[in-house]
Structure formats: C-alpha cells, structure tokens
Amino acid sequence: MEGPNPNITLLGIVSDSHDDAAALCAALDLLRARGAQFFIHCGDVCAPAMLDHLVGLPAAFVWGNCDDRKALEQYAALLEVTCCGAVGEFVLGGKHLAVLHGDDAPTKHKLIALQQYDYILQGHTHMAEDRRIGRTRLINPGALQRARPRTAALLDLRTDALEILTVTTG
C-alpha cells in the first residue's frame, strides 16, 4: 500500500492505548511537537471512540487482540481514518513498512522471513523494542497503557534514527 505522501520522513508510532484517551492524546501531542508527519497505531485501540483522536491526522491503525474489529472498522470508515485490518503495508519516505499488532506469531515470523520490509512495526508486548533481523528492523514503541513508563516512538525514515519517548499525562 502506498502511503498518502511518499515524502514523509518522520513517523510517529504508538500502540496499546487500551481506551486511555489521555495517554493517546499526550502521545500524539508529543509526536506532533517533535515533527511527526504520519501516525501509526499498532493495535489495541479498544473502544471505537478512541479513533476520534486520529481524525484529521495522517494516520492509520491495525487491529490488536483486544479490539472489536468490526466496530473499529465501521467507525473508522465513518471517520475516514485508515483501518489496515490485521496487517498494514506502506511505502513511506521510500521505505517499505509492515504493521501488525504482534499477537499473531506465525504472521509476524512470516513477515520477518520475507525480508522485504525495511521496518516491521508491532505492539502487543507493552515493552519498547528495537532490533534488526537481517535487513528488517523490528520496532515496538512500547505501550500507552499498563506500562511504566508509557512510551511512543519517533522514527526518522531518512536517517534511520529512532527515539523512544516517555509519555506523561496530566
């Protein structure tokens, strides 16, 4: 899937917001302040109303294991927020990305084994992770709920620099 703007270089990545609107808003505000041009949510959005916070942003999300998939898909269509289903594929800033929640180990291992992605973004574990497997860099931004600290990630697709950012709420 081609992204909305192939010239995007700063990607904001969040995951596992689990209905915590304050944490999601704080993460999005932090990422916007740091210059993020596109936002990806790696699943476990939970309540469809959480998608309200992505309206008007260049953003997409995948389903997590705690998500009501049908409800999220229907509400996302109403809001015109991009729902990628279980796996999303993008070309952003000339880089090939796959996005999944991470709870489906066979799919995750298949995507890694293909070695056709520059980045695979995932959530699920509630722990930030950054590692390379062959040519593919596996990134988990951590979680916005049930994690200490709460974290999000900012990826510079031009320089390959990744920052794991601590998210604080009021």
Could you read off the pLDDT of 137-154 as tens digits, one per residue?
999 999 999 999 999 999
pLDDT the model gives residue 97? 97
Indicate the range of 4-8, 12-16, 57-61, 164-168 predicted with least confidence. 4-8
Residue range 98-128, pLDDT digits in tens? 999 999 999 999 999 999 999 999 999 999 9
CATH superfamily ID and name for 10-166:
Metallo-dependent phosphatases (3.60.21.10)
Q: Work out the average pLDDT over 9-23.
A: 97
Work out the mean pLDDT of the chain and round it to a whole number: 95
Q: Three-class SS string for 83-145?
A: ECCCEEEEEECCEEEEEECCCCHHHHHHHHHHCCCCEEECCCCCCEEEEEECCEEEEEECCCC
In degrees, to the nearest 5, what angle opens at C-alpha 20 toward C-alphas 51 and 33?
75
Other residues' Cβ atoms within 10 Å of the Cβ of residue 32:
13
pTM: 0.96
Q: Work out the average pLDDT over 67-88.
A: 97
How many residues does the structure list for the chain?
170
Contacts of 44 (CB under 8 A, 6+ apart): 15, 16, 17, 18, 64, 65, 66, 67, 101, 123, 124, 143, 145
Phi/psi at 20 (5° precision)? -90, 90
CA atoms within 13 A on the CB side of 125: 13
State the pLDDT confidence band at 2, using cuts at 50, 70 and 90.
very low
Task: Dig out the tokens for 79 from the structure.
Answer: 């809001």
